[in-house]
Structure 1
Amino acid sequence: MKNTGNVSDLFNLVEEYWSPKIIAEVNNEYIKIAKFKGEMVWHEHKNSDEMFYVIKGSFDIHLKNVIITLNQGDFYVVKKGIKHKPESKDESWVMMIEKKETKHTGDIVSDITKSLDEQLK
């Protein structure tokens, strides 16, 4: 992991949707990037918050009773224990910040679930 880099160049290396890549670490947090398109699974992170920051495009975060729409430049923090499901009609580039031990899809295992080892590649 490097301490510097160009985020656009790093996004060009991301080939799969919903497959976060860890690009840096700050204290006990990982900085991740991912391309979103389509729907992710409903999941929660019981012990940690998760911040989403839209670099390019837009996407929705479905919560129990509301849908939050994020556009380029917007961010949103999903608080720990809140079930959520990101969804993007078109390709979106998203940066996430979360604790190092946070599982990609919480306790839900699906076809898109990536281990921390896979996210570090």
Structure 2
Amino acid sequence: MKSEKVNLKDKFELFNEYWTPKIVGELNGQQVKLAKLKGEFVWHDHKEEDEMFLVIKGSLQLEFRDKTITLNEGETYIVPRGVEHNPVAPEEAWVLLFEPETTRHTGKVKDKLTIENPDWI
């Protein structure tokens, strides 16, 4: 893939689906994804991969079995591999995800929200 400038706001405006990550770049086996989130996702983990969330717009709650972390615009958090978590967005949130290309959307959990192969935008 050739390298090109990406305007995040323009890319976010290309889609309206929630919980459906879109790939905007790749580097060193990692994918950069954008997602619009609203409501509750599904409890899951990624056994072999860490997952980074960066909130671009709105806020995101990352629920863990023992605590909840709230991320506001401009804040980031890395969920360590193997840690069960559940993202929740009370209102629409725009999030940039950075994770290995092998990361499955909902880990081993199969759900109506599971996306097998994210699209490029």
After TM superposition, the score normalised by the length of structure 1 is 0.95
Aligned-partner residue type, residue 40 of structure 1: F
Tell me how far apart the structure 1 counterparts of residues 50 and 33 of structure 2 sit (CA, whole Å).
Answer: 14
Tell me how far apart the structure 2 counterparts of residues 39 and 50 of structure 1 sit (CA, whole Å).
Answer: 18
Q: SS of the counterpart of 1:55?
A: strand
Moved over 2 A (4+): 118-121
Q: SS of the counterpart of 1:10?
A: helix
Residues 28-49 of structure 1: CA deviation (Å, up to 9, x unaligned):
1000000010000000000000
Specify the alignment match of 2:29 in structure 1: 28
Aligned-partner residue type, residue 12 of structure 1: E
Report the alpha carbon displacement of residue 120 of structure 1 after superposing the two structures with TM: 3.2
Aligned-partner residue type, residue 62 of structure 2: I
Aligned-partner residue type, residue 48 of structure 1: E
Gaps of 5+ in 2: none
Aligned residues: 120
Report the alpha carbon displacement of residue 59 of structure 1 after superposing the two structures with TM: 1.0
Gaps of 5+ in 1: none
Report the alpha carbon displacement of residue 3 of structure 1 after superposing the two structures with TM: 2.7
Q: Percent sequence identity over matched residues?
A: 43
Specify the alignment match of 2:15 in structure 1: 14
CA root-mean-square deviation: 1.2
Q: SS of the counterpart of 2:42?
A: coil
Residues 77-112 of structure 1: CA deviation (Å, up to 9, x unaligned):
000000000001100000000000100000011111
Matches of residues 93-108 of structure 1 in structure 2 within 5 Å?
93-108=94-109
Asked if 1:119 corresponds to 2:119, the answer is yes
More helix by share: 1
Specify the alignment match of 1:88 in structure 2: 89
Report the alpha carbon displacement of residue 19 of structure 1 after superposing the two structures with TM: 0.3
Tell me how far apart the structure 2 counterparts of residues 30 and 95 of structure 1 sit (CA, whole Å).
Answer: 10
